[in-house]
Amino acid sequence: MGEGFQYRDGTLFAEDVPLPAIAAAVGTPVYVYAANAMRAAYRRLAGALATVPAGRRTTLCYAVKANSNLAVIRTLGREGCGGDVVSVGELRRCLMAGIPADRIVFSGVGKTRAELAAAVEAGIKQFNVESLPELEILSQVAAEQGRVAPVALRVNPDVDALTLKQITTGTRDAKFGIDIERAPDLYRHARALPNLDCGGIAMHIGSQVTDLKPFRDAYQRLADLAKLLRADGFPISRLDLGGGLAITYRDEVPADPDGFAALIEDIVGPLDCELMLEPGRVLVGNAGLLLSSVIYPKTDLARPFLIVDAAMNDLIRPALYGAWHAIVPVAEPRPGTPEAPVDVVGPVCESTDCFAQARHLPPLASGDLVAFLSAGAYGAVMAGEYNTRPLVPEVLVDGARFAVVRKRPTFAEMVAGESMPDWLDDRPAAAGAP
């Protein structure tokens, strides 16, 4: 079910709030996040790292791309978490949410000159640079501001994360990072560039990694590179180990945080470097769900369908990756209630607007509430307005209280940024206008 969500007296709750109360106040579909589940996930990982010397030199920088809601970022920031950002927008979100610049790292394969300039001016902790052109532009931007930019070259260790192809980033054919074999040459080039502190190395092999072996293989390559660079006179003092720790969606068995901490101590602990980790999904994934209402069952076809008011524009992961999300009724079924296979679909005019096929569910009727579990990561943050459907709202629950932390826009707000060119504007011209 996920920490923070449980049945009580036959009704699904988010912490101490019954989900029907949120549906009545906000409407559906709506994302619901459990603040204490996020805190627990952060403390679990931070606590495991605190048991080893290397972990005590580690800054956890939340991967904001997983869920960039300001209230989510602030909830984790107040726990001591930093931020890992991939755009100037995410950087501004972190700063707005109260995360100081010296706890923010800037990743991403396509940072623009303007984004680099904004991050240099903000004074962030580190730039994870992914190409030679980016390195040269960052040097120019830092020189223009009279500042020194702290740099880690993101290397590609050519290690398969053994996860979905779409979320693997550390193999040789990925667009991310620098071939690890070329890294020494790029560090030598960087040494000749002004206004750069090239004292770091970074890597990130992918997301939803369940096995520790890919981490071990990648971190060993990182450690070997650090030793090689040090022997060449580079004062390597910072290592960004990336993120990728998995959660349970269906039957996955995530890596144990204590074992992960021990692996870090074993492989990179002897280097005595300052470390950064970029956890995202593992902090928020199971702390969120998507609450939806049944529009109606459709049983007059060759196969039965359950049409709900959530759609692929609200939660795109099943359409994009074939991802699995557990779907449960908010009203707990009585023991022994029969289940039958049904396709759970949304109202968007696309055949790919399908959340599940032949999913075994109890009988559900129009107006019944269902919850898509493990939707706190890569859910609302990837939502859109396809079919002119309003962006799904978000609610944060903290104990017995809840608040809307992103409202559902009105139609007027949805079209406010659009305008009609003058040759299509049929409104009468103002008096005296040419």
Q: What pLDDT does residue 125 have?
A: 98
The 10 Å Cβ neighbour count of residue 347 is: 15
**Dihedral of CA 194/197/198/203: which sign?**
negative
Q: What pLDDT does residue 429 have?
A: 60
Q: What pLDDT does residue 254 have?
A: 92
Claim: this prediction has a pTM higher than 0.85: yes
pLDDT per residue over 339-388, tens digit each?
999 999 999 999 999 999 999 999 999 999 999 999 999 999 999 999 99
pLDDT per residue over 60-85, tens digit each?
999 999 999 999 999 999 999 999 99
Distance CA 277, CA 260 (A): 12
Q: Which amino acid belongs to residue 398? A: D
Q: What pLDDT does residue 169 have?
A: 46
What residues have CB less than 8 Å from 112, skipping those under 6 apart? none
Domains and CATH numbers, the chain: 5-33+285-415 (2.40.37.10), 35-280 (3.20.20.10)
Confidence check: pLDDT of 318 > 70: yes
Distance CA 291, CA 87 (A): 29
pLDDT per residue over 289-300, tens digit each?
999 999 999 988
Average pLDDT over residues 260-280: 96
Q: What pLDDT does residue 170 have?
A: 42
Q: What pLDDT does residue 326 have?
A: 97
Lowest mean pLDDT among 109-113, 317-321, 428-432: 428-432
Q: How confident is the model at residue 162 (pLDDT cuts 50, 70, 90)?
A: very low
Average pLDDT over residues 102-117: 96
Question: Which residues does the annotation mark as catalytic?
Answer: 349
Average pLDDT over residues 289-318: 94
CB distance 62 to 243 below 8 Å: no
Q: What pLDDT does residue 174 have?
A: 62
The tokens 């962030």 sit on which residue? 124
Q: How confident is the model at residue 160 (pLDDT cuts 50, 70, 90)?
A: low
Q: What pLDDT does residue 15 have?
A: 98
- Quick one: what percent of the chain has pLDDT higher than 90? 87
pLDDT per residue over 164-194, tens digit each?
444 444 455 566 778 888 899 999 999 999 9
- Angle formed at CA 245 by CA 256 and CA 361, multiple of 5 degrees: 90
* Cis check: omega of the bond before 390, within 30 degrees of 0: no
Average pLDDT over residues 98-123: 97
Report the DSSP pairing between strands 288-298 and 30-34. Answer: antiparallel
Q: What pLDDT does residue 157 have?
A: 83
Q: What pLDDT does residue 1 have?
A: 66
Q: What pLDDT does residue 434 have?
A: 46
Average pLDDT over residues 319-325: 93
Q: What is the dihedral of CA 92, 95, 101, 104, to 10 degrees?
A: -70
Which H or E element spans position 76?
helix 70-77
The 10 Å Cβ neighbour count of residue 172 is: 13
- Mean residue pLDDT of the chain comes to 93
Structural tokens at position 257: 């945080």
Average pLDDT over residues 242-250: 94
